[in-house]
Amino acid sequence: MTTRKILLGNEAIAIGLVESACTMATSYPGTPASEVLGTLVQIKKEEGLPLHLEWSINEKVAFEVALANSFAGRRSAAIMKQVGLNVAADPLMSAAYTGVKGGFVLVVADDPGPHSSQTEQDSRLLGMMAKVPVLDPSSPMEARDMLPQGFALSERFEIPVMFRPTTRVCHARQDMEMKPLSPAHSIAQFEKNPARWAATPKFRLVLHGQLNGKLAEIAEEPSLAPKLLNPGISTPPHGSRLCIVASGVVLAHAMEIMRDLGLWEKIPVYQVTMPFPLSPKFRDSILAQYDKVLVLEESYPVMELQFQNREKVQGRTTGTVPSAGELLPERVEDILRTFAQLPPAPRVEPPTFPGRRPTLCAGCPHRASFYAIRKAFPKGIYPSDIGCYTLGVNLGAVDTVLCMGASISQAAGFYHAYRSVPQEEAPAICATIGDSTFFHAGIPALINAVVQGARFVLTILDNSTTAMTGHQPTPGFGSTLDGTPVPQLSIPELVKACGVGFVEVEDPYKLDAFTDLLKKADLHTRSEGGGVAVVIARRPCIMDRNQRGSWVRQEMAVNEKCKACGLCVKQFECPALQSQGEKEPVRIDPALCTGCGVCRFVCPHGALEAVSSTP
């Protein structure tokens, strides 16, 4: 009997990896890719599969660990989000030249929108730069089915294969048939070949030539050839011959809309599952058959550029398709109507409602840390980093967010920038970085800051997890995903080893003590013989079920002293504190309040008080 199950795109990808007999998967969490490895961990537990799975310290390391498993002849996957691939770009470029042995699939999830990323970058372009084939699924089901193909391609041509879903595939859910999963058996067998695996520049040239040969052959691989989805459309007797070439979830939007508009029976639609390398034969035949070709893809013109034609081909290079923002179905409808010369759609205007901005959770220890930072350094410069705590921007305690680890390097840069200013006029510099981000890319930046003589306060927001992406363990966790004990890394010891002379740990819930510690840290940065000062704000994430909440729960109430000044709502910004209108006392929402009690330090009138506490 077959069973059907509703799977999240990322769950479908995880199952696709298992069904491809993958033996190792490595990842660093990042939206929209995070749930792939999480699902694999679950499957491994439930089915007892002999897989090696790890949350690696960063994407570069993840890529390299999985690649070696492939060098040893075993199927492997490295999983990350698009900006994670920037970190792993170095091994990707090189691995394209060396090639692989066991099938190697790089799962990299793009985020057009962007919904949860710094950029809308298209990883397929990075695939093109690396010269590796790219697969582009349009639905969760297709993603699952495409993976075995990807591994087969990788193994046959000994080349890394990029598999590129987008947010709307990763975070879509779809019902599909389930099959029993079986364990993959493959014995490690690394065959030494220094001319390939350790190639010197002279041999790299040879490898580059081989890579070009592989790509030319892959481009015409019949099993991955573009497919006409609605055959049997006759050529119109008058007017231009139109066709659409599409890939990814934009194809899924287009199909539904075309059926709605009666275009499905009129305009041929070609699905490209491998946008790079685009088959030159396909390109030539499309250009020979049609007068106008609309290319629909996300989020950069990858197929479009390979068409090398601006007379017939329409897309981003011609301004037909917008060059920024997600191609939502309503946008696709507009593009299709224009292309087919239909009247514009009746406009449904989204309201100008600004929406609620995301905010740190009620009881989040980061809120306390940011509030203290603002209080200790009201005129400070606050470089910050990637994670939940980016939302410290709402509290006015985040000035810059660039990429993983940049808070520390930028704090150093700001210090050197202000070095010529007299010390009493120089702003305090206080950087914030989460524990997982510190491990990922903060350590080299900290060493660099120390040895370049920079001085600033670094607050490591240590909630002992990777909170933003769903609480993946960090190197501070002390065990592998299987529960095997491994050394538990100590952030204070690491910081000391980086050459920092001032390292102290405090609980940000103790707001007054924590604020005093920040001021003490700033004094260290300004003292003779001082340097970088590190304050570790340690308090587990309130949403993490793996860590026991260890605070005394305060039953909070608003007393008659409330002057309705709104300071707590504006400056502390806790979602549980709600304004009820001008001159009305503030209200505490019992559904949201966690009883952290930090707000009692915030109200200058003493109107927020703890009426009872339960340990």
Q: Where along the sequence are the contacts to another protein (CB under 8 A)? A: 4-6, 8, 31-32, 34-35, 115-116, 138-139, 168, 171-175, 249, 252-253, 255-257, 259-260, 328-330, 333, 346, 348-351, 353, 355-361, 388, 390-391, 468-469, 575, 590-592
Cα separation, 53 vs 410, in Å, equals: 33
Q: Considering the complex, state which of residue 319 and residue 351 has its C-beta at the smaller distance from another protein.
A: 351
Q: Considering the complex, state which of residue 31 and residue 459 has its C-beta at the smaller distance from another protein.
A: 31
- Least separation in angstroms between CB 459 and another protein: 20
DSSP secondary structure letters along 403-451: STTHHHHHHHHHHHHTTTS-TTTSPPBEEEEEHHHIIIIIHHHHHHHHH
- Least separation in angstroms between CB 143 and another protein: 12
Q: Considering the complex, state which of residue 365 and residue 575 has its C-beta at the smaller distance from another protein.
A: 575
Tokens of 211: 């890579």
- Least separation in angstroms between CB 329 and another protein: 5
Q: Considering the complex, state which of residue 45 and residue 115 has its C-beta at the smaller distance from another protein.
A: 115
- Least separation in angstroms between CB 168 and another protein: 6
State yes or no: cis peptide before 473, omega within 30 of 0.
Answer: no
- Least separation in angstroms between CB 472 and another protein: 13
- Least separation in angstroms between CB 591 and another protein: 3
Count other Cβ atoms within 10 Å, centred on residue 130: 23
Torsion of CA 12, 15, 19, 21, to 10 degrees: 130
Residue 121 DSSP label: -
- Least separation in angstroms between CB 110 and another protein: 14
- Least separation in angstroms between CB 401 and another protein: 12
Count other Cβ atoms within 10 Å, centred on residue 377: 20
Q: Considering the complex, state which of residue 32 and residue 103 has its C-beta at the smaller distance from another protein.
A: 32
The H-or-E segment that residue 68 falls in is helix 59-71
Residue among 539, 325, 364, 598 nearest 468 (CA): 364
Residue among 380, 366, 399 nearest 465 (CA): 366
Q: Considering the complex, state which of residue 270 and residue 414 has its C-beta at the smaller distance from another protein.
A: 270
Q: Considering the complex, state which of residue 139 and residue 369 has its C-beta at the smaller distance from another protein.
A: 139
What's at 112, amino acid-wise?
Answer: P
Tokens of 2: 């077959």
Torsion of CA 291, 296, 300, 305, to 10 degrees: -20
DSSP secondary structure letters along 303-314: HHHHH--SSSEE
Tokens of 210: 């081989």
State yes or no: cis peptide before 140, omega within 30 of 0.
Answer: no
Q: Give 284-288's long-range contacts (Cβ < 8 A, gap of 24+).
A: 286/243, 286/245, 287/312, 287/313
Q: Considering the complex, state which of residue 7 and residue 162 has its C-beta at the smaller distance from another protein.
A: 7
- Least separation in angstroms between CB 174 and another protein: 6
Q: Considering the complex, state which of residue 20 and residue 34 has its C-beta at the smaller distance from another protein.
A: 34
